[in-house]
Every structure is written in C-alpha cells, then in structure tokens.
Amino acid sequence: MKFAAIIILFHPERQILLNNIRLLEAAGWQVIVVDNSPQSHQGWLSSSVEFRHCPENAGIAHAQNIGLLLAKQHEYDYAMLLDQDSQLSEQLLQTVKLRVVEAQTHYPNLAAYGPSIVSEFDGQVVRAKVQRAVPDEHGFLHSRQIIASGKVIPISVLAEIGLMEDALFIDGVDHEWCWRANRKGYRIISDTQALLRHKQGESRKRIMGVTFKVGSSVRLYYQYRNILILLRRSYVPFYWKIRNCVALPVRWIINGWFLEQRRERRRYMRQGLIDGLKKRSGRYKADQ
C-alpha cells in the first residue's frame, strides 16, 4: 500500500511544519505540500517533498484537490489531509497506516478514516455533543462527518464521491464532502486507537460560564455564508441545520458584542448573511 500526506499551508510555523514532515517521511509517507501563502515556503523543504504554490490563496478546498489529484496521478492508495498546525507523532502515523487498512477490510464502503482529535487547548478528546458517533467492536466510531486534518481517504472513492467543493472555499468543506459520501452509501469512521493533537480555532474565551471558540474575523464571513448555502441542500443532516439555525444568532451576539474587533466581526457576519442569501460562493471580495 502507498500512502501520501497532503499538508495545506497558510503562513505556517517553520518548526512545526518541518517536524511533521520529518515524522511523515520516516514513517514512509510521501509528503505533498500545497502552499496558499502569498510568499512561497518551498525554500524550507527538501526535494523529496512534492510542492505546489497558490499565491492567490485559492482556498483550502482547492488546495486539497490539488494534493488529491497529485496523489491519484502518482497512484497512491491512500491520502491523508493535514492542517499545518496538527501535531503528529511516530506512533500516530504507524497506527493510522495499519488501522485504515483494517477499517477498509471490515467496511469496504469506507470513504474516510480519521484519528480521534485531541484539543490543543485542554488536552481532551473532542466528542460531539449532538449526534454522537456510534462505536463498534473493532474500536472504530461511525459518524456523519469528521474534520479534514488527519482524514485519510482511499483514492479510489474519489471517482464516485468527487473532490472537495471549491466554491465553499474553507468552512464546511470537510463536512460537506462527508455528507456527500454518506448520500452515496459510504462510511465515515474515526478511531479510538489513534489520537491527533489539533488546534481548532485561534483561542478560547469564557463568557457567562460558557467557553467559545475564537477565530479570525474573516472566518465569520465564510461560516455565515456557507451555513446559508448548505441549509438548502437535502443531503445535509437535519440536526446540523437545526443546530446552526440556533447557533447563528448566539454567534452574532458573542462575536459582535463580547469579543475584540467586534465592529469588524459584525461587518463580516453581515456580508456573509447577504452573500449566503444571494448564493454567492468562492473567495470573499470586499467590494461585492
């Protein structure tokens, strides 16, 4: 079996990136780097790394697709998507190699396998509070969706499921692909035996006894817009639609009045609502 790892960059931290690449290559993974940063980071990398540069930042979906198509072209069996700030380990990479093959042996209709995510903020395994994953006797968890970082995709399934949706640009890309796979009868699985440390959001803030994820202001544009776009689709889970309809006004209050840059945050949320209603997609444009 041949394994590739696709790392998406956007202003990366050098030490974390190079350490992850070192671990991947030592574990026998071919590394593909797709750089969405304005300035190329190819100078950091050895010639063994397959590198592509998108200086205009074409979005995470487009960057992932570049990597997936390269993995397909070079006839890799599996491709793992990785964010630049995930913390890899030798044990994780060896476990993933063995367990994804095992998962596909038990479930030939496997679309994606991923490790359990450990929050970089509190060191706890992230578990869904609604629509919990269903465990099986092999230590796998069956769910509707998993996040992109650490997600391993059997390249063969792309022929039927397709690539990531470029038009969404960033937020919701990982979940939309999983739901599309569900609709076609494929399984999405995470693993209790593999743990990946990952940073979701830029920080955390506790407000009125509740801890909220804090991200960049512009991400609010994509979150609001893409939620409105995905709400219209029949294959998107009903529970997700209800949860986000409830969450949108809460997110507006928290970001618009309790966090820093609140005026800017309100502007991005407002534009996201407008563009979502108008079904606009792609990259955010300030003059639209």
Spatial CA neighbour of 173 closest among 35, 10, 82, 61: 61
Q: Do 163 and 271 share a domain, yes or no? A: no
Please state, in angstroms and rounded to a whole number, the distance separating the CA atoms of residues 274 and 202. 25
Of 153, 174, 198, which residue is a domain's last? 198
Output the pLDDT for position 206. 78
CATH code, 101: 3.90.550.10
Q: How many CB atoms lie within 10 A of CB 176?
A: 21
**pLDDT tens readout for residues 87-142:** 999 999 999 999 999 999 999 999 999 999 998 777 788 887 667 889 999 999 99
Is residue 219 within a helix (H) or strand (E), and if so which, with residue range?
Answer: helix 217-231
- pTM greater than 0.85 (yes/no): yes
Burial of 58 (0-12, 13-18, 19+ CB in 10 A): middle
Q: Do 149 and 237 share a domain, yes or no? A: no
Q: Are 146 and 112 in contact (CB under 8 A)?
A: yes
The number of folded domains in the chain is 2
Burial of 209 (0-12, 13-18, 19+ CB in 10 A): exposed
Residue range 188-212: average pLDDT?
81
Q: Do 18 and 142 share a domain, yes or no? A: yes
**pLDDT tens readout for residues 239-255:** 999 999 999 999 999 99
* Structural domain containing residue 250: 203-277
Output the pLDDT for position 200. 67
Q: Do 175 and 110 share a domain, yes or no? A: yes
Please state, in angstroms and rounded to a whole number, the distance separating the CA atoms of residues 248 and 179. 21
**pLDDT tens readout for residues 137-174:** 999 999 999 999 999 999 999 999 999 999 999 999 99
Output the pLDDT for position 201. 62
- Phi then psi for 255, rounded to 5 degrees? -75, -35
Q: Do 61 and 178 share a domain, yes or no? A: yes
Residue range 187-200: average pLDDT?
91
Q: Do 45 and 135 share a domain, yes or no? A: yes
Rounded to the nearest angstrom, the gap between the alpha carbon of residue 15 and the centroid of all alpha carbons in its chain is 21
Of 166, 198, 230, which residue is a domain's last? 198
pLDDT-derived band at 15, boundaries 50, 70, 90: very high
Please state, in angstroms and rounded to a whole number, the distance separating the CA atoms of residues 139 and 127. 15
- Predicted confidence (pLDDT) at residue 204 exceeds the cutoff of 70: no
- Compare 50 and 288 and report the one with higher pLDDT: 50
Q: What percent of the chain clears pLDDT 70, i.e. is strictly above it?
A: 95
Output the pLDDT for position 244. 95
Residue range 268-275: average pLDDT?
97
In a domain, 286, yes or no: no
